[in-house]
Structure 1
């Protein structure tokens, strides 16, 4: 179970109130320390699943203070370790409970929404590093495709700069955050445009064999590809929710966004228009399925804003997003049926 150290900065006159709130939440693994300028810091050690309910309570109580601050830090390990107690409770060996089991159940094994939001903003930032990664990934993918080298193509998949904005877009729909959605769309469109233009240029200047194994395999879409993309999209959202990135590597390979886009551009540049359309449909299918699976998974895991009016709006945004992606998926399925 992942642990988080939460540092809560509060005016010193509220020290007892903070201590009472922590005890009311069933949190015993915390310690207090004085800070300069009339402040004190509560250091709280909890499981990642318990952070959201705790932080919501603390924010509701102390957010009116201008110097109120909460910082979430990952924890590699903590001692003494938790020990299973009779009756199913957990403790640190001294009979102390670590958070409420109901809070962990409510959060369904995910990290706090603010961690998700921060990660989403990071991976959806339109920076020079992002654009360079798109260029590098496009070149690596093009070389692997032209040489029919699957290992090189997988290397381009693992770089996967386009996956981050898609996950961020799904989270933005779930949280009802138009600013994050605009940020993700802007970054995604910039990456897609850059990769597409570069691929067309390579198609115009190089010989592209449309019958090559790696290229030809990305010019057709089947219903099994849609199932694969949906399953991998759910896995990607789950790993993102847990605050771990290791599982995302498998998702990057399973639902590759850039290689089919590179195939589309190169085939279009070399005059193979029908095959280019098939590659574009594969890229579209993966994009649709990643976003649809992401929105559904985030919503199923209880990712929503703290206040009820924001949660109400987020619910509407989520519903609209699901309906939009399902509509696009139906249109894509219609094209697949017609092309058979």
Structure 2
């Protein structure tokens, strides 16, 4: 459930209450008119009706510069609401519990390049490099969990699906910077530290086959489903299944040691994971109804179109096919 509070000019009160009724709100009520002539209308709505109500509200508010919509999660209400008396419409989002507005806000945070992101990359890379060098599986898994690299990769796919060019490009830049920092730092550590390149944790990231492609696609799709369902605890398993940091750290370490042949395997694994997550995320977002739309006062002029979505998917598919061919050639197929 969601509590939607609409702050708007007082004359819109009847239309807002009518929208709440039309979209099967559990309850709706109004406050008194403020000194500035605005009124607060609150609506309690089931999750399956929230997105359509939000779209209707935004369409109404497009020409109201003083209007604002606030969405809050609701754990429960007393009395408990009964079962909705209407079945979800065919165009209802497939299994998506968060509204597009909530997803956009969450993804915008994941795609930011700030001091916390850089610090987490720095710390997780050190932890991963130590775990790999010492052949310590627990430390490597811990570094996977604290590494923030999966966020901007999924955010890029979300930005492309939403048609938000600025968000997608910012996330892509953040992902490149994060991966670049991880490779550079691990390269320096590998050059200065006597790291063994023959232990199990390192060798596991230099071997890549078609099964890794299937795993990365599956885990990427699961990660987006976990994110859009609002149950972020499931993302921990996805971070471990399709980790980006360990292969990036192994790639840098092996470059620092001058071991270029096994470094190629780590680079292939890293590329497969990144591209598969993006492709899987694009399809899951498409299935869940994430598509370009108008926004209230977002101020974005340039947008991706469905054609752009297809072009990015084609680029990713071609890159993935190229990587699979390299994997097969490298494996002596």
Q: TM bucket by the smaller chain?
A: over 0.9
Matched, 1:23 2:21: yes
Q: Which runs of structure 2 are paired with 1:66-85 in the superposition (5 Å)?
A: 66-84=65-83
**Which shows bigger deviation, 233-242 or 27-36?**
27-36
How many residues are matched? 323
Matched, 1:195 2:182: yes
Structure 2 CA distance, aligned partners of 1:104 and 1:148? 51
Matched, 1:306 2:297: no
Q: Which runs of structure 2 are paired with 1:198-209 in the superposition (5 Å)?
A: 198-209=185-196
1:18-47, Cα deviation, whole Å (9 max, x unpaired): 111211222242222125221111111122
RMSD: 1.8
Q: Is the 8 A contact 2:112 2:171 kept in 1?
A: yes
Q: Which runs of structure 2 are paired with 1:146-185 in the superposition (5 Å)?
A: 146-185=133-172
Structure 2 CA distance, aligned partners of 1:324 and 1:164? 21
Structure 2 CA distance, aligned partners of 1:82 and 1:104? 23
**Residue 55 of structure 1 corresponds to which residue in structure 2?**
54
**Residue 123 of structure 1 corresponds to which residue in structure 2?**
110
Matched, 1:317 2:315: no
Structure 1 CA distance, aligned partners of 2:4 and 2:89? 16
1:207-245, Cα deviation, whole Å (9 max, x unpaired): 121110000000011111111110000011111212231
**Residue 228 of structure 2 corresponds to which residue in structure 1?**
241
Structure 1 CA distance, aligned partners of 2:274 and 2:158? 14
Q: Mark the CA change 1:314 to 1:77 in structure 2 (over 3 Å): closer, same or farther.
A: farther
1:307-332, Cα deviation, whole Å (9 max, x unpaired): 59x9x953222211211111111001
**Residue 87 of structure 1 corresponds to which residue in structure 2?**
none
Structure 2 CA distance, aligned partners of 1:226 and 1:47? 38
CA displacement at 1:48 relative to structure 2: 2.7
**Residue 113 of structure 1 corresponds to which residue in structure 2?**
100
CA displacement at 1:81 relative to structure 2: 1.7
Q: Which SS does the other structure have where 2:112 is aligned?
A: coil
**Residue 298 of structure 2 corresponds to which residue in structure 1?**
none
5+ residue gaps, structure 1, are 85-89, 91-96
**Residue 325 of structure 2 corresponds to which residue in structure 1?**
334
1:78-120, Cα deviation, whole Å (9 max, x unpaired): 2222334xxxxx3xxxxxx5xx533586122312111111111
Q: Which SS does the other structure have where 1:42 is aligned?
A: strand
Structure 2 CA distance, aligned partners of 1:64 and 1:104? 30
Q: Which SS does the other structure have where 2:76 is aligned?
A: coil
**Residue 87 of structure 2 corresponds to which residue in structure 1?**
101
Structure 2 CA distance, aligned partners of 1:190 and 1:74? 34
**Residue 230 of structure 1 corresponds to which residue in structure 2?**
217
Question: 4+ residue stretches of structure 1 with deviation over 6 A?
Answer: none
Q: Structure 1-normalised TM-score?
A: 0.91
Q: Structure 2-normalised TM-score?
A: 0.93
